[in-house]
Amino acid sequence: MTGDERAKTFEAKVASLIAATRHLDVARILTLRQMTIADPETRRWASEHQLGVVFDVILSKALERLGRPRLEEARRHGFADLLPPGRDADLRLLGDIAERLLGPKEASEAENAQASFEALLTRRLMAAPPKVPRVASQAREPPPLFAAQLGADSLKRKGFQPKDALPSPAAPPMDPDKPFVDFPTLFDDTICAHIRRSLGLIVVSPRPPGERLPFLVAPEFAALFQDVVRGFVLPGMRASRHVQTLADNYNWAEVGGAQLIEIIHSGEVNNPILHYWDARWNAMVPQKKGKPAPAANTPWQMFREDATFSNYEPPGEDDIHILRDIIRIDADALARCWREVEQLYQQEFAPTGRQAQAREGAFRDGLLKWTSRLNDHLGEFMAIKSYFLLPQCDLEFLRRLVTNFGRAESERRRNAPFLCRFLERRGG
């Protein structure tokens, strides 16, 4: 089996696992995990480490669905209600995942005293380990296609930046409690953290009960999208030659995930991450009209099933450009957009005693300004979010707002399709 065939098989199997486990309880997922890892046929398409990572993600999502109060209660009782009988290894696994989700478990005073006493004995009985000299690895030249973008090896290897270089505004900091393991883990976790932060600024929270939300403002879609990215997109990206070469061009333990976000936002030209991100999404839509893409290698059925279960409007193949752009969102700009929009809304419709009332139309103009600055169509979803969270932004306000996107109805549908569709479904 070639590398490409193995990668495609891995993606298809992971997609099947994610789909099969979305509505299983924790005990059944643990049983499936043991059976899958023990199955010799599984080793044809995945290593034990890869399966461990996949089921770690699946179990994390299953524990998140329990909710924090129930998960804390389960941890206090040793996860007795979640475990198959006689599974000490599963108990340790759930304990590790729960600690990542809830934080360290608070120890009693007796446990703290015992731990302090044992640490004191350890320090007195153990000699300091000998120092191991650090050997610098040999630098490799980046591939010609992306050499200009990657910069000088002397800077990349040491993790330095020129004095006039600014850090990426949307770069998530490295988690001090999660040390660097390897480049694939850093790559996946950083991109998912960036996506999680960006979508978290778009979703409607708290979710209005009974409302069928457009996908980009639905919290459930934001959770599923990360599963789709981990299962369908990132493995194929990491299998590409240029992304593998990227792993050797930085000391990732020092520069961390911030460098990946900086590369993402460095522009479209010769950008290895954006290039293979787009390639993976483009492979999920049919190349010829009327010819469906292979179901095993696409997430559309997962989107439809989750949308039915969670009550939101799923994205379709025609929305591929929106899904591709999620990684391109500047989260800091999006945060500034919402702060300014909320401030203009308050100044226009509900000024406090210390605020001068804003002129009529200031809130509308703020939405239009940010619509022109953000990614295509993102401003429409921010207007839809405003509809659910800001009372004066009602259907009549959105009807007047959409007239700014064109004189004719056809022009408005072309320039603001999601806002027009939202109004149509609510009788607008």
- Of 323, 326, 404, 332, nearest to 361 by C-alpha is 404
Integer distance in angstroms from the first to the last C-alpha of the chain? Answer: 55
CA–CA distance, 166 with 147 (Å, rounded to integer): 21
Instruction: State the DSSP string of 326-366.
Output: GGG--HHHHHHHHHHHHHHHHHHHS--TTSPPPPTTHHHHH
- Can you tell me whether residue 2 is helix, strand or coil? coil
Per the CB < 8 A criterion, the answer to whether 314 and 306 are in contact is yes
- Of 315, 279, 272, nearest to 297 by C-alpha is 279
- Can you tell me whether residue 173 is helix, strand or coil? coil
Residue indicated by tokens 């990657």: 150
- Of 195, 223, 231, nearest to 307 by C-alpha is 223
Q: What is the pLDDT of residues 21-67, one digit of tens each?
A: 887 888 888 888 888 888 888 877 787 777 888 888 888 888 878 88
Position 299, amino acid:
P
Side-chain half-sphere CA neighbours of 189 within 13 A? 19
Per the CB < 8 A criterion, the answer to whether 6 and 45 are in contact is yes
Residue 260: other Cβ atoms inside 10 A: 24
Taking phi first (over 0 means left), then psi (-120 to 50 degrees means alpha), and beta for anything else, what does residue 98 get? alpha
| Cβ partners under 8 Å of residue 50, min gap 6 | 10
CA–CA distance, 7 with 191 (Å, rounded to integer): 19
pLDDT by residue, tens only, the chain of 428 residues: 555 566 667 777 877 788 788 878 888 888 888 888 888 888 777 877 778 888 888 888 888 788 888 888 888 877 877 887 656 677 777 777 777 666 666 555 444 545 554 544 444 444 444 444 444 434 333 343 443 333 333 333 333 333 333 333 344 444 444 567 789 999 999 999 999 999 999 999 888 988 899 999 999 999 999 999 999 999 999 999 999 988 888 888 888 899 999 999 988 888 999 999 999 999 988 765 555 555 556 789 999 999 999 999 999 999 999 999 999 999 999 999 999 999 999 998 888 777 677 788 899 999 999 999 999 999 999 999 999 999 999 999 999 999 999 889 899 999 999 999 999 988 75
CA–CA distance, 351 with 302 (Å, rounded to integer): 45
CA–CA distance, 283 with 293 (Å, rounded to integer): 8
